[in-house]
């Protein structure tokens, strides 16, 4: 058994909300997700913490008592908080002046929430997660102009985050304008040009980058590629990770079967598969190494924790304790292969 204790292992709460709600399955309560996370165990190893989606109905950012209540719950379950998802979809980085202002205000509220958790001693690490909150189709009406607007909004958000000592991580997904391909993602980060912005790599979403969904001009794997051809898949992953690894400050372990999926109000993006899905294209433990190690195979140690992301799983899957044990087991394998002791 590996003695590695870093990176710390986190579960995520936003899969209880994303794709759920009035036009889909019911939202899974935060306390349910907390309890199942705390109960998961694999060979004596447990989750170290939770990454939190600061989304209604799990959280009310204007409630001054919210962080104190959350801190008590985390401490009771011997967990910490890590990265936080800012509810930036109330606005848009590419929208009207008012929408862009709302976007930045949501980043500010997330930073304030995160600072309170740090002050309460329950958030030792982590970033604030954002995206452009803009669709690819709207972005494509004026790619250069719209990317410039998004970069300007991100810069404003970075300046706000810097005041709280926070870094912003942009999660590249095929459904977000200016972030929907690996090349567009690098271009946007370079254009923002702030020291406290980086990339949040999700193994499922970034695999879709290799297939060119929504950006066929940037596909790496041929259209008729055999996804069971491990050498072709590995070469494609290497191209994407070499480009984005230098920017990567947050990491989601995930599985994907090479398809897209949407649920409820969420646009189609890389399908998250269960950790044990036999149709999964990725070798999770091996392929995580493309993000956790540099081009020479040395550990980057660019972040102190990793998180499992499994959005839009059916509720009967998410309410099954074995699901979370399987997820924890996958994370343990990643840490055994690419972790360190500190």
Asked if residue 218 is part of any domain, the answer here is yes
Is 38 inside any structural domain?
yes
Q: What is the CATH number of the domain that holds 319?
A: 3.20.20.150
Domain assignment present for 279: yes
Which pLDDT belongs to residue 266?
66
Domain assignment present for residue 283? The answer is yes
Residue 3 lies in a domain: no
In a domain, 2, yes or no: no
pLDDT score, position 84: 98
pLDDT score at 310: 84
Q: How many folded domains does the chain comprise?
A: 1
Within a domain: residue 1? no
Instruction: Walk along the chain (342 residues) and give the pLDDT tens digit of each residue.
Output: 568 999 999 999 999 999 898 888 999 999 999 999 999 999 999 999 999 999 999 999 987 799 999 999 999 999 999 999 999 999 999 999 999 999 999 999 999 999 999 999 999 999 999 999 999 999 999 999 999 999 999 999 999 999 999 999 999 999 999 999 999 999 999 999 999 999 999 999 999 999 999 999 999 999 999 999 999 999 999 999 999 999 999 999 999 998 874 565 566 776 889 999 999 999 999 999 999 999 999 999 999 999 999 887 999 999 999 999 999 999 999 999 999 999
For residue 109, give its domain range. 8-338
69 is a domain residue: yes
CB 234 within 8 A of CB 288: no
**pTM of the model as a whole:** 0.96
């Amino acid at each position: 058994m590996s003695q590695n204790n870093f990176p710390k292992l986190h579960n995520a709460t936003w899969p209880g909300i994303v794709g759920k709600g009035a036009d889909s399955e019911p939202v899974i309560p935060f306390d349910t997700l907390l309890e199942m996370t705390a109960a998961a165990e694999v060979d004596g190893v447990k989750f170290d913490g939770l990454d939190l989606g600061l989304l209604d109905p799990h959280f009310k950012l204007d409630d001054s008592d919210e962080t104190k209540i959350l801190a008590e719950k985390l401490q009771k379950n011997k967990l910490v908080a890590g990265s936080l998802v800012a509810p930036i979809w109330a606005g848009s980085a590419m929208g009207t002046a008012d929408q862009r202002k709302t976007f930045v205000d949501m980043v500010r509220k997330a930073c304030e929430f995160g600072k309170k958790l740090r002050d309460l001693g329950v958030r030792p690490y982590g970033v604030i997660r954002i995206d452009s909150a803009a669709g690819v189709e709207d972005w494509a009406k004026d790619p250069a102009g719209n990317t410039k607007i998004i970069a300007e909004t991100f810069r404003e958000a970075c300046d706000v985050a810097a005041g709280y000592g926070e870094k912003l991580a942009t999660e590249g997904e095929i459904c977000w304008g200016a972030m929907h391909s690996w090349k567009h993602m690098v271009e946007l980060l370079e254009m923002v040009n702030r020291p406290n912005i980086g990339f949040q790599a999700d193994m499922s979403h970034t695999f879709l980058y290799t297939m060119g969904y929504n950006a066929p001009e940037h596909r790496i794997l041929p259209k008729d590629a055999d996804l069971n051809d491990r050498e072709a898949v590995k070469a494609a992953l290497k191209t994407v990770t070499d480009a984005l690894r230098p920017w990567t400050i947050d990491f989601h372990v995930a599985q994907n079967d090479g398809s897209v999926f949407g649920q409820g109000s969420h646009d189609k993006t890389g399908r998250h598969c269960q950790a044990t899905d036999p149709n999964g294209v990725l070798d999770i433990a091996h392929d995580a190494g493309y993000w956790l190690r540099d081009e020479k195979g040395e550990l980057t140690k660019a972040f102190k924790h990793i998180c499992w992301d499994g959005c839009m799983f059916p509720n009967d899957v998410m309410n099954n304790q074995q699901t979370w044990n399987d997820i924890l087991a996958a994370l343990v394998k990643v840490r055994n292969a690419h972790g360190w002791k500190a």
